[in-house]
Structure 1
Amino acid sequence: WKGVKPLPLLCCVALGVILRFAIPKPHAVTHKAWSLLAMFIVTVAGLIVSPLPVGAWAFVCLTFTVASKTLPFKAAFSAYTNEVIWLVVASFFFSRGFVKTGLGDRVAMFFVRVMGKSTLGLSYGLVLGELAVSPGMPSSTARAGGIFLPIIKSLALGAQSNPKDPSARKLGAFLMQSQNQ
């Protein structure tokens, strides 16, 4: 049980049991709907107090929801067929690849060489890069997290603009602000 925080886990389980069995359900609500509400509240509470890492907690709650027959398997896992979700997940995998292989650093240095005469030039380069990439990757979340965040991070670190440091207000803050607008 490495990674489990026992007290938050116990609190979440107790909350679920209390919601499901101790609080009387309204007459207009079915037993399955009441169970689903309890599971939803437990899931949200777990995401807040973190008895497990986020992915593990979500999977445990989803598995329990299916195992308790609160939701059928098809309904519980129907969101995993959404292509946009997988596009975002894949882009974050690409992002890790950009960082691990150093490709983000190389692309960032290319931006510096081509448009890096000023910070404004760098921000224009990033905007043009997003314009070029957007038809092929329509999810703005996927583009931001998967492609441009590693590039901006590499540019900022190359200019000694470190996050959670007074230097964060240098190039990094400006590029993040210009990219988010």
Structure 2
Amino acid sequence: MSGSNSDITLPVDDEQPGWRAIEALYRDHAEWLRALVTRRLRAQPTEVDDIVQDTWLRAAGCKTDNIQHPKAFLSQTALNLFRDRKRREAVRQQHREGVAADRGGGDRHSMSEQEAILELERIVLDLPEKIRDVFVLSRFRHMSNAEIATTLGISIKTVEWRMGKALALCMSRLRD
């Protein structure tokens, strides 16, 4: 939802009461609402789009034909949605900061990741050669079982068996 809203047409379902009212509300106030949200909330353009769209969705869920002051209704709805969004962002940020503090910073996490990569390399290198070849071609070269069978000159069933054996050995080593 970007740019002008005047080229957007809401679907009207005569069987559903209230669609005519929401269409009229949208037609009369869409540009005003976008300008208000942009000016008053000083949000990023994508955030403005989201707030405006959510405001119209909220309005579509209400009984709009009884609204006495449509601009007040729309502006309060948009403001409430903006506040809710900011609250959720603050909670997410606090959660991210808490997780980062629990880890004790990024260095320890990076070392742990490096250690995991080295352990995986050791596990793969310790696999029996025929099983390792199938595993490496499948997981690191992203070849299909048929391609592996052709490359190694073995049957697809043998590729499947060796791949299953490789995964079982890897899982066993990871559990130890």
TM-score, length of structure 2 as denominator length: 0.27
* Rg larger in structure: 2
TM-score, length of structure 1 as denominator length: 0.26
